[in-house]
Structure 1
Amino acid sequence: MTVINTSPLHRSISDRSARITIWGAGFIGLSAATAFVQEGFRCSVVDVNASRVRCINAGTVPLPGFEDRVHLDPQALRDGRLRAVSPDDTDALDAQIHLICVNTERGGKAFRDPLQAVLKAIGSAHRADRELLVSIESTVSVRWLDLVLPLLTGATGVVGTGIHLATAPRRDWLLDPEMNLRSLPRVVGTLNPASQPLVTELYGTVSDVVHMTGDWTRAALSKSVENLYRYVDLVLTNQLAEAYPDLDMAEVFRLAGTKWNVPTLHPSIGIGGYCIPLSPHYAGDGLLGEGQLPLVDSALNWDATHSSRVAQWLTSKFDGPIGILGVSYAPDVLLPQGSPTLALAAALSARGADVRLHDPFLSTEEVIALGEGARALRWPEDLASVRTLVIATPHTAYAKLPDHLSALNDPPTVIDSLGRMRDVLAGTKVRYVEMGTPALWAEHDPALVNGTSGSDATR
């Protein structure tokens, strides 16, 4: 049976005449805007950062490392189908479709102020005689959804038929360009079931698979829950590596990962980013510490001291100065938010260690500002000045690290957080320790092979 779309807004989505305003010009917002523009929509991207706005309008992606993931169409910029604007832009406020992609994290905690500011701005410009679709793509606590209508309408009454509210949290995997907005299944939910056809039509233009739920709360919570699964698994991985310090736990995890329904995880210096580490706070808003999520409470408490234990291990077993390569939590992009490197650097500095950081996306001044007592390490000139080198993030810029180390008379001991340098450093003179793998250290230390100081290789 053919369904006739009687809603003017629904028809404008179908014929691509609807104007879309996207709040937030980070990777999520900017990639969404370029995807919708590619499908024929006109998009305004709103951001409070004036420099970022200027860059976009000049055709430059203002996100270091994301240039090959976000493609700004020069023709779309010239003819106004894509434009970046400030929050007070009247045309952007006048749009009938608003997608909220602002950052809801600050200082490692869930932070809702930007979301509230956007909702107030949209509500102040909305005309009661027109339909309005507001979709929240930012990660949120389900408790925050109770604030949406009051902020939009200034009242707590029942939503009118002209206002469509949805949650559509983004899924992204920066390590694989094939896993993107188009290919990854999208979970979407609406407050009112009557809004489902309209919202499905909109997101179906940029995502091949749209899973529509019967409730926008369920859609919002699904993002936190899927990240929470991974968070608990990663905490357990680090716990197991510490519990069995004399075993090759990295191989144990690889062997466990050969089972079809078990992911292959790796112990590390810490869990990075502002998605996975924050998932307990979004999913457990109002529940944490109340005994309703005891597993999550326990994981959080243990993980909060993980960087201190790694710092204790490094300072007690290895010589300084200690260099750390990689501040961004993901390779080949600038993402220092929630960096486990910064947490480790702070813990090392607190123990009086001489810590030196490098990241190809950060200047010396930026490293010093972020490093909490750490100094900047010049790449590759300063490799000879450190005695221990932690590989935190395997940026492509470090591809020649084996050559640089092999050229040194006495290269530093390498501590590889994720084991990415295992193969390329095998057989070299570099003393190598993979997190969770004491055996690889032993290969380069006869004393350890003979069993005289096995604990030196462990955390």
Structure 2
Amino acid sequence: MQPSTSPRPLLAALQDRTEPVTVWGAGFIGLSAACALAQAGFPCTVLDTDEHRVGEINAGVVPLPGFEDVIPLAAARSGGRLRAASPDDTAAVAARVHLVCVNTDRAGRPVTGPLTTVLTAVGRARAGGETLVALESTVSLRWLDDLVPAALGAAPATDASLHLVAAPRRDWMLSPDMNLRTLPRVVGTARPESLPLARELYGAISEVVHPAPDWRHAGLTKPVENLYRYLDLVLTNQLAEAYPGLDVPEVLRLAGTKWNVPTFHPSIGIGGYCIPLSPRFAVDGTGHPGEETPLPLVAAAMAWDGDHPARVAESILRITDGPIGILGLSYAPNARIVEGSPAARVTEHLLARGADVLLHDPYFTPEEITALTGARPLRWPDDLSGLGTLVAATPHDLYADLPARLSALQDPPALVDNLGGYGAALRGTAVPYAEWGTPAARPSAAPRP
């Protein structure tokens, strides 16, 4: 009798962690997921269109500046279970398990192109039998209903061989203790029968897995949880606008002494991958394109926030006298993340008003600074003495001695401190200081013509 050549049931292969996994996208989300899966025992291939990034991963180099100590690439590769490849790797595309971690936004707006490309490739490579596709990218519910079935060429609710999972990723890049393993994971599936497979896969890399009623509930979780924070931050910035004669950061600190009130700080803008995009995904998932949104509060917040960089630029111009320097292009400290950069948006408006703007970020080359923002590169720390105003946008560790450097200058620039972290060190010095959200940063002078 010939031995059976039927593939093992997918659940059993996930349970003993012998099933190869393909991760689409070698950004922070995809590469960290691939490393976690490899460390859990799964043979794992991470696919990316960036050949340089693929080469660096296979050479053992984390290709994401600022995340070298966060992504355990060396440990993941030590057992030979992790490799990187381009999306034309036929074996990886034909795998039975796929994690989709591609960008679903461009220039601050949701885009479907990369997701459609990946799902179309997976759908064409399916040769029968079970396939699990987990969406870790942020998605709109309309995409789950329409885009995903069309791209895969399958009906999620009725195809018994297709296991579709929504498992939106959570991360807090500013805290090493809040990561893929420690943060609770929400997962939901298109069919109830697929949930045991999803729990088995994600239980291998996350300490807590919360099952959702289905994949639509799981998919909406990410936009909603970020939407909470977005609305709070917009309100915080609105308060600073509404009360220009008060120290609004102090008001917010005092309000935060109440046990159930979080403490926020006014800022020059809301940045990053997720929070600024959350309202767009939430609104996109309701009704149909072109219809009036049933989330009017969200729509109003988006409209106000869209004009915020212009108001920030105007406030900076009211207090400046000479060239304007900006420290930090990345939205998060000690990382290279330009997506949703508040500094970039403010720079755009300053330049449009004729300002002379110089910008520095240790994670971007001078050429990249100019290409991304139009600003002149600021030479750190040599150019500090020639500035009229300096905006401390992102508190990279490199700038930890900024107060000492400014205090040593004979004619220091006025410092506009985005998050107020340098105030204590500059108190009593000759450096003109303005914490964002205080009257010093937002003088009530008439607007410039």
> How big is the alpha-carbon RMSD for the aligned residues of Structure 1 and Structure 2?
2.0
Give deviations 1:343-368, integer Å, cap 9, x for gaps.
00000111111111100001110000
Structure 2 distance, partners of 1:199, 1:115, is 20
CA deviation after TM superposition for structure 1 residue 369, in Å: 0.3
Instruction: Please name the residue that 1:314 is paired with.
Output: 316
Give deviations 1:147-200, integer Å, cap 9, x for gaps.
212221x25585321110000000100111000011101111000001111111
Aligned residue for 2:186, secondary structure, equals: strand
Instruction: Please name the residue that 1:339 is paired with.
Output: 341
Instruction: Please name the residue that 2:410 is paired with.
Output: 409
Structure 1 residue 125 corresponds to structure 2 residue 119:
no
Instruction: Please name the residue that 1:326 is paired with.
Output: 328
Instruction: Please name the residue that 2:67 is paired with.
Output: 66
Give deviations 1:227-262, integer Å, cap 9, x for gaps.
111111111100001111111110111111222222
Q: Any stretches of 5+ residues in structure 1 without a counterpart?
A: 1-5, 442-452
CA deviation after TM superposition for structure 1 residue 69, in Å: 0.6
Give deviations 1:421-458, integer Å, cap 9, x for gaps.
1222222221110011237x8xxxxxxxxxxx974699
- C-alpha distance 78-265 of structure 1, shift in aligned 2 (>3 A): closer
Structure 2 distance, partners of 1:419, 1:91, is 52
Aligned residue for 1:102, secondary structure, equals: coil
- 1:366 corresponds, among 364, 368, 371, to 368
Residues 401-440 of structure 1 aligned to structure 2 (within 5 Å): 401-438=402-439
Structure 1 distance, partners of 2:314, 2:443, is 17
CA deviation after TM superposition for structure 1 residue 79, in Å: 5.2
CA deviation after TM superposition for structure 1 residue 211, in Å: 0.6
Structure 2 distance, partners of 1:157, 1:33, is 25
Instruction: Please name the residue that 2:305 is paired with.
Output: 303
Instruction: Please name the residue that 1:163 is paired with.
Output: 162
Structure 2 distance, partners of 1:423, 1:207, is 40
Residues 150-229 of structure 1 aligned to structure 2 (within 5 Å): 150-152=150-152, 154-156=153-155, 158-229=157-228
Task: Output the TM-score relative to the length of structure 1.
Answer: 0.92
CA deviation after TM superposition for structure 1 residue 7, in Å: 7.5
C-alpha contact (below 8 Å) 1:417/1:434 kept by paired residues: yes
CA deviation after TM superposition for structure 1 residue 274, in Å: 2.4
Structure 1 residue 398 corresponds to structure 2 residue 386:
no
* Amino acid aligned to 1:259: K
C-alpha contact (below 8 Å) 1:246/1:458 kept by paired residues: no
C-alpha contact (below 8 Å) 1:422/1:434 kept by paired residues: yes
Aligned residue for 1:165, secondary structure, equals: strand
Range that drifts further, 300-309 or 77-86:
77-86
Q: Any stretches of 5+ residues in structure 2 without a counterpart?
A: 1-6
Task: Count matched residues.
Answer: 438
Aligned residue for 2:73, secondary structure, equals: coil
Aligned residue for 1:34, secondary structure, equals: helix
- C-alpha distance 454-150 of structure 1, shift in aligned 2 (>3 A): closer
* Amino acid aligned to 2:151: L
C-alpha contact (below 8 Å) 1:22/1:98 kept by paired residues: yes
- C-alpha distance 132-18 of structure 1, shift in aligned 2 (>3 A): same
C-alpha contact (below 8 Å) 1:136/1:167 kept by paired residues: yes
- C-alpha distance 289-413 of structure 1, shift in aligned 2 (>3 A): farther
Instruction: Please name the residue that 1:53 is paired with.
Output: 54
- C-alpha distance 143-454 of structure 1, shift in aligned 2 (>3 A): closer
Structure 2 distance, partners of 1:240, 1:383, is 31
C-alpha contact (below 8 Å) 1:271/1:277 kept by paired residues: yes
C-alpha contact (below 8 Å) 1:186/1:210 kept by paired residues: yes
Aligned residue for 1:433, secondary structure, equals: strand
C-alpha contact (below 8 Å) 2:22/2:97 kept by paired residues: yes
C-alpha contact (below 8 Å) 2:186/2:211 kept by paired residues: yes
Structure 1 distance, partners of 2:291, 2:400, is 44
Structure 1 distance, partners of 2:41, 2:265, is 43
Structure 2 distance, partners of 1:244, 1:81, is 57
* Amino acid aligned to 1:8: P
C-alpha contact (below 8 Å) 1:436/1:458 kept by paired residues: no
CA deviation after TM superposition for structure 1 residue 407, in Å: 1.5
Instruction: Please name the residue that 1:356 is paired with.
Output: 358
Structure 2 distance, partners of 1:360, 1:325, is 9
Superposed structure 1 runs of 4+ greater than 6 Å apart: 456-459
